[in-house]
């Protein structure tokens, strides 16, 4: 485990009227910035909500999260875990952005979204369940090829 590698998972509510073009803009703007900061991760959107995982050096992740909190494209931003990580879940993605409402595999995305948003009774439970769900998401995405633009 790298002592300098941390992950952060947060949830938030999307601004009214947020659309697919907004999600693509988020991805386009974040990819180069995240590469420079050596941050990887994924942003999932569904039913007007976000869950995002960021991975990288602790200070870089914390600074990025502080900027994210002030973004007007969402509100009610809540960090559900921030701590050391053994490895990167999304090591090849500067930022993957996926709209689960349009991925085209509703049985998989419904199961994934429920695994992310339900049955979390403590922060530790949430962290472990969210990490598991994000890993499951990675497997689904790799298997289905359900990639949105700019997963580099």
pLDDT in tens, the chain (152 residues): 455 899 898 888 889 998 888 888 888 888 888 999 999 988 888 778 888 889 999 999 999 999 999 999 999 888 888 888 888 888 877 887 777 777 655 566 666 666 655 554 555 665 666 667 666 666 655 665 544 333 33
Closest CA to 117 of 54, 51, 48: 51
The per-residue pLDDT for 69 is: 95
Domain parsing of the chain, residue ranges: 5-144
DSSP percent split of the chain into helix, strand, coil, nearest 5: 40, 25, 30
User: Which CATH code is given to the segment(s) 5-144?
Assistant: 3.30.70.100
pTM of the model: 0.74
Q: Which two tokens stand for residue 9?
A: 């998972």
């Amino acid at each position: 485990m790298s002592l300098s590698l941390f992950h952060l998972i947060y949830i938030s509510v999307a601004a009214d009227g947020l659309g697919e073009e907004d999600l693509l803009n988020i991805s386009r703007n974040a990819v180069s910035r995240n590469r420079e900061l050596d941050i990887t991760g994924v942003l999932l959107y569904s039913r007007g909500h976000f869950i995002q995982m960021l991975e990288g050096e602790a200070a870089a992740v914390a600074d990025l999260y502080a900027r994210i909190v002030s973004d007007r494209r969402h509100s009610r931003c809540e960090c559900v875990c921030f701590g050391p990580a053994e490895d990167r879940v999304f090591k090849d993605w500067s930022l993957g952005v996926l709209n689960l409402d349009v991925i085209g595999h509703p049985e998989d995305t419904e199961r994934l979204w429920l695994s992310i948003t339900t049955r979390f009774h403590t922060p530790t439970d949430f962290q472990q369940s969210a990490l598991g769900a994000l890993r499951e998401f990675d497997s689904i995405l790799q298997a289905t090829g359900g990639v949105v633009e700019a997963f580099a």
